Amino acid sequence: MRTNQVVKYTLFVSCYFFWVGSGLMIAVGVYARMSKEASAVDSLITDPSVILITVGILMFAVTFLGCMGALRDLHILLKIFAWLMLLILVLQIVAAVLGFFFSGLVLDKVSYVMGKAISRYREDLDLQNFIDFIQKKFECCGVGSYTDWSQNIYFECRDSNPSLERCAVPYSCCIQEKKQTIFNTMCGYETQSLKSWQAEDRIHVRGCLDKLVTWGKANLLFLAGIAMAFFLLEVLVIFLAKMLIYQINFIVLKRRLTIADPSL
């Protein structure tokens, strides 16, 4: 007597994809961590590479239990896997609820982290490229406005600042003309010394945090759909694990009864 092969291999394949994905997360996180300066981040908690490695290791360990438990019909591993997945599911729900009710605090924290990233713009090439990508993608500049770039020592708008980029903003803040082949990297020079209505012809004056929030609201259904898909997939995996545990326990009980009474 065997367990249902459809349930068994559906669970195995689902866990396997998560397992491979977690391995890739760990690899990307390790590569990012090794290729950047340790001083480029405020703390380990806010370093994206450390977050990738930590989440990747947790996913790798949990999904490995699911893969081995499903492949070998080991109900102990499946029980541990099911309970861990249930715990992760509950934590995700709690995080979503807290994020909804304390959205103001979340935005304040995001604003703080983005401000720290701006202040260390020149210290980490990966961080610099990421900020430039965000500013070009969302056509924004700074956190709340373009003047936030004074938080960076190179762009600080003070008379005592000896930097050639004093009162400037990065080129990624500049308004790009369509079909422009040659881009002026000095286009943002001295724009912080201008009023917003004067600077808006040269650069994007609106902050990136506001643009990101607007984008999130505009794509709320899409983001909710992705979150719901992951939620349902996790519920399905837990359900399959529970079904397989039930089948394994039933088979073990049947065998014991058969040994005790061969007439069964």
Tokens of 144: 């709340």
Residue position matching structure tokens 């605090």: 105
d(CA 206, CA 62) in angstroms, rounded, equals 43
Share of the chain above pLDDT 90, in %: 27
Give the integer Cα–Cα distance in Å for 264 and 262.
5
pLDDT-based confidence at 263, cuts 50/70/90?
low
The structure tokens listed for 21 are 């994905």
Q: In angstroms, rounded to a whole number, what is the distance separating the alpha carbons of residues 235 and 228?
A: 10
For residue 133, name the pLDDT band (cuts at 50, 70, 90).
Answer: very high
In this prediction, residue 91 has a pLDDT band, given cuts at 50, 70 and 90, of: confident
Q: State the residue for tokens 């981040």.
A: 41
The secondary structure element, H or E, covering residue 259 is helix 220-260
Phi-psi region at 167: left, alpha or beta (left = phi > 0; alpha = psi -120 to 50): left
In angstroms, rounded to a whole number, what is the distance separating the alpha carbons of residues 80 and 69? 9
pLDDT at residue number 153: 93
**What percent helix, strand, coil does the chain show, rounded to 5?**
70, 0, 30
pLDDT tens track for 230-256: 888 889 999 999 999 999 888 877 777
Torsion angle in degrees (nearest 10) through CA of 258, 259, 261, 264? 10
Q: pTM for the complete prediction?
A: 0.69
Residue 262 above 80 pLDDT?
Answer: no
- Residue of higher predicted confidence among 88 and 34: 88
**Average pLDDT, stretch 207-212?**
92
Residues of the chain with pLDDT > 70, as a percent, come to 90
**Is residue 101 within 8 Å of residue 50, measured between CB atoms?**
no
Instruction: Give tens-digit pLDDT for 8-60.
Output: 888 888 888 888 888 888 888 787 777 654 444 444 444 667 777 888 888 88
**Cα–Cα separations (whole angstroms), residue 213 to 94, 110, 217:** 21, 11, 6
Identify the H or E element spanning 11: helix 5-34
Residues of the chain with CATH 1.10.1450.10: 110-215
* Residue 179 vs residue 16, higher pLDDT: 16
Q: Which CATH class is domain 110-215?
A: mainly alpha
Give dist(CA 97, CA 215) in Å, integer.
21
